[in-house]
């Protein structure tokens, strides 16, 4: 075999070796082995000392899970319990709240990853339920009633025993467009 013939065959072998994984990838639906589903739609915003990160996961039309992570931007701040009354306790505090409207509806109860503890607030007789200082992750099972527009409404307040409280946020809207393929966050 001549050197030029050897080089040609060697090139053909390298090209074939490069094409085999591509052919296998195409035959398997275009995703490498072990590749998961598309990443969950996510969005975030910051208002009044708290950053909120929203995502939708476990989407199997028409059901999924809406996750909201509430992260105080300063150390030593806590959020109030999801079970706190809307007007607080004796006017103190606002609940951490997640609600949906439009083609999405809650398909269960809002739950939080953190344990509730109670604090005493000067001038308030009843104990006030709060989460420990730092981030709190909430989850809400959701269900779509068809395709179309939906809105997530978020509420919260954060406080610190040293620094005081931030201004409460009530019904902050985050918009989504829902299809059988899943919800996608939109900007308006």
Residues 27 and 104 in one domain: no
* Within-domain flag for 135: yes
* 135 and 101, same domain (yes or no): yes
Which domain CATH number covers 59? 2.60.40.1250
Q: Specify the pLDDT at position 41.
A: 84
- Identify whether residues 28 and 65 lie together within a single domain: no
Which pLDDT belongs to residue 143? 97
Question: What was the pLDDT predicted at 38?
Answer: 58
Cα–Cα–Cα angle for 106, 112, 113, nearest 5°?
Answer: 135
**What pLDDT was estimated at residue 134?**
96
Burial class (CB in 10 A: 0-12, 13-18, 19+), 156: buried
The structure's pTM equals: 0.78
Instruction: Tell whether 56 and 83 lie within a shared domain.
Output: yes
User: 91 and 1, same structural domain?
Assistant: no
What is the pLDDT at residue 164? 87
Q: What is the pLDDT of residue 6?
A: 43
Per-position pLDDT tens, the chain of length 188: 544 454 345 444 443 444 333 333 333 334 344 344 556 789 999 999 999 999 999 999 999 999 999 999 999 999 999 999 999 999 999 999 999 999 999 999 999 999 999 998 888 999 999 999 999 999 999 999 999 999 999 999 999 988 889 999 999 999 999 998 889 998 76
The answer to whether residues 10 and 93 belong to one domain is no
In a domain, 140, yes or no: yes
Q: Please give the residue range of the domain that contains residue 14.
A: 1-32
SS (H, E, C) 5-71: HHHHHHHHHHHHHHHHHHHHHHHCCCCCCCCCCCCCCEEEEEECCEEEEEEEEEEECCEEEEEEEEE
């Amino acid at each position: 075999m001549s050197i030029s013939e050897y080089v040609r065959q060697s090139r053909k072998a390298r090209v074939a070796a490069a094409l085999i994984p591509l052919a296998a990838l195409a035959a398997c639906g275009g995703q490498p082995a072990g590749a998961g589903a598309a990443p969950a739609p996510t969005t975030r915003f910051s208002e009044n000392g708290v950053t909120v990160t929203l995502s939708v996961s476990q989407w199997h039309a028409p059901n999924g899970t809406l996750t909201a992570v509430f992260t105080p931007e300063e150390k030593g701040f806590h959020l109030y319990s999801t079970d706190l009354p809307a007007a607080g306790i004796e006017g103190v505090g606002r609940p951490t709240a997640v609600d949906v409207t439009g083609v999405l509806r809650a398909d269960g109860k809002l739950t939080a990853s953190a344990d509730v503890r109670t604090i005493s607030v000067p001038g308030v007789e009843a104990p006030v339920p709060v989460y420990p200082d730092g981030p709190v992750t909430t989850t809400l099972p959701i269900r779509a009633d068809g395709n179309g527009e939906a809105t997530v409404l978020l509420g919260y307040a954060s406080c610190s025993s040293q620094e005081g409280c931030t201004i409460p946020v009530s019904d902050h809207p985050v918009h989504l467009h829902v299809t059988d393929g899943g919800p996608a966050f939109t900007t308006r």
